[in-house]
């Protein structure tokens, strides 16, 4: 899995490595200034500030190894802390006369590269306020008494300016190059992740399509298998009665072909991608066409006022058909009727399917909606109806709810939000 770091995380990890170099470089500079240039500096306070930088960076490194979520205020806080440490070091080593005051630019540059406007303004103000304070409070540079310096003061100051300028340029250039390269790597990783997500979405669409086809074809194919077995026996015993089974097989084959045509028409599309304008009355009319005469004989419709809808019509009809067939199966033993009612208002539309079966046990209810989980006998269901219904409801911004009690039947409610057809500007 690709580790997609934020720009702040990338910069903070790089800054942690840079601070180790700063600790070593600052310590070396103090030694050179005292031993080589014979400057009289408060070595102990300066080394204490160097140690403070090292300890804080050790803690930062340990924290980063835990893999935390790095926010902008983490990086901004470290840069502000380093800016104050730099001000303290400069105050102990000449103040405005110290050429290494140019290092303020490093902190501001990194802030401008990856932080937001507030942190840029904050660090810029710190970098401006620091030199102002140094003009009032600082320890002047002085040579060690009775020890001759190897370089005159003017040459020493020019050399210091050159070293400080060169170091600042290299640090800014290295910082921008490293952070930019890391950000480019992150962008490439994001592009790869988007491509993988697009492929996964297409695969999910194909899987949903295949699951829907398997679910819809299961019933007619099962009927064909039973009718074919009966037909074989009738042809041998009573050829005249075999005609009815032959017609049944033909009808079921036509149904399979219709299912495959509808599936191929929306191949590669999910239920929520092709909404169209319709009404609750039109949806119920299509539902009546899809159900068999035997199923319709036990189904009772309770229709309210016709409500306008803007959803994938075929998907909605198929979900309702699955809910109705589940309800009919649940009350098959008693042959009790199933009720389908429609309620619509300004908030949305609810399709309610109620049966008078035995209800759903609690242990089964916890798994209802899982793909391929079914309590029906083998060959009578694949456990995809409620799964596809929940998928359709979620894609449309609605929900599918089940209210059941053992011995008192089940009520399935498909709630769809009010959605209007988008208005397109005239060409």
The whole-angstrom separation of Cα 24 and Cα 81 is: 18
The whole-angstrom separation of Cα 272 and Cα 263 is: 14
What percentage of the chain carries pLDDT values higher than 70? 71
The whole-angstrom separation of Cα 185 and Cα 248 is: 62
Residues of the chain with CATH 3.30.565.10: 273-422
For 245-295, the pLDDT digits (tens) are: 677 777 777 777 666 665 555 544 444 456 788 899 999 999 998 888 888
Report helix, strand or coil for 344: strand
According to DSSP H, which parts of 115-152 are helical? 117-136
Taking residues 17-21, report their average pLDDT.
Answer: 84
Q: What is the pTM of this model?
A: 0.43
Q: Which residue has the higher pLDDT, 151 or 352?
A: 352
Q: Which residue has the higher pLDDT, 233 or 31?
A: 31
Taking residues 177-192, report their average pLDDT.
Answer: 75
Confidence of residue 1 (pLDDT cuts 50, 70, 90): very low
Mean pLDDT of the chain: 76
Instruction: Please report the pLDDT score of residue 276 as a whole number.
Output: 85
Q: Which residue has the higher pLDDT, 369 or 63?
A: 63
**Structure tokens that stand for 205 in this block:** 């669409």
Instruction: Write out the CATH class of domain 273-422.
Output: alpha beta
**Structure tokens that stand for 416 in this block:** 């769809």
């Amino acid at each position: 899995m690709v580790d997609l770091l934020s720009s702040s995380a990338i910069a903070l990890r790089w800054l942690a490595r840079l601070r180790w170099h700063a600790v070593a470089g600052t310590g070396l500079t103090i030694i050179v200034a005292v031993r080589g240039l014979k400057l009289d500096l408060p070595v102990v306070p300066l080394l204490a500030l160097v140690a403070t930088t090292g300890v804080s960076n050790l803690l930062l490194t340990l924290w980063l190894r835990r893999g935390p979520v790095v926010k902008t205020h983490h990086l901004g806080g470290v840069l502000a802390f380093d800016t104050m440490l730099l001000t303290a070091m400069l105050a102990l080593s000449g103040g405005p006369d110290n050429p290494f005051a140019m290092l303020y630019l490093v902190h501001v540059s990194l802030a401008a590269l990856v932080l937001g406007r507030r942190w840029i303004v904050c660090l810029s103000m710190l970098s401006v306020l620091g030199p102002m304070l140094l003009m009032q409070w600082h320890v002047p540079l002085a040579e060690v008494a009775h020890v001759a310096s190897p370089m005159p003061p003017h040459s020493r100051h020019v050399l210091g300016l050159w070293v400080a300028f060169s170091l600042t340029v290299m640090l800014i250039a290295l910082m921008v190059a490293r952070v930019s390269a890391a950000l480019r790597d992150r962008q490439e990783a994001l592009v790869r992740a988007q491509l993988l997500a697009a492929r996964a979405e297409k695969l999910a669409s194909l899987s949903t399509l295949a699951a829907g086809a398997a679910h819809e074809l299961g019933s007619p194919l099962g009927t064909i298998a039973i009718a074919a077995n009966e037909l074989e026996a009738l042809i041998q015993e009573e050829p005249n009665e075999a005609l009815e089974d032959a017609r049944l097989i033909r009808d079921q084959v036509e149904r399979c072909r219709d299912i495959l045509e509808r599936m191929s028409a929306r191949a590669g599309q999910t239920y929520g991608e092709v909404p169209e304008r319709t009404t609750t009355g039109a949806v119920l009319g299509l539902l009546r066409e899809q159900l068999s005469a035997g199923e319709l004989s036990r189904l009772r419709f309770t229709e309210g006022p016709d409500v306008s809808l803007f959803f994938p019509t075929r998907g909605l009809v198929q979900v309702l058909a699955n809910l109705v067939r589940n309800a009919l199966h649940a009350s098959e033993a008693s042959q009790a009727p199933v009720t389908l009612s429609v309620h619509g208002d300004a908030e949305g539309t609810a399709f309610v399917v109620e049966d008078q079966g035995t209800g759903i046990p609690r242990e089964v209810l916890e798994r209802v909606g899982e793909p391929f989980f079914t309590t029906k006998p083998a060959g009578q269901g694949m456990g995809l109806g409620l799964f596809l219904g929940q998928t359709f409801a979620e894609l449309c911004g609605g929900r599918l709810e089940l209210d059941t009690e053992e011995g008192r039947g089940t009520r399935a409610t498909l709630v769809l939000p009010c959605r209007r057809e988008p208005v397109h500007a005239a060409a």
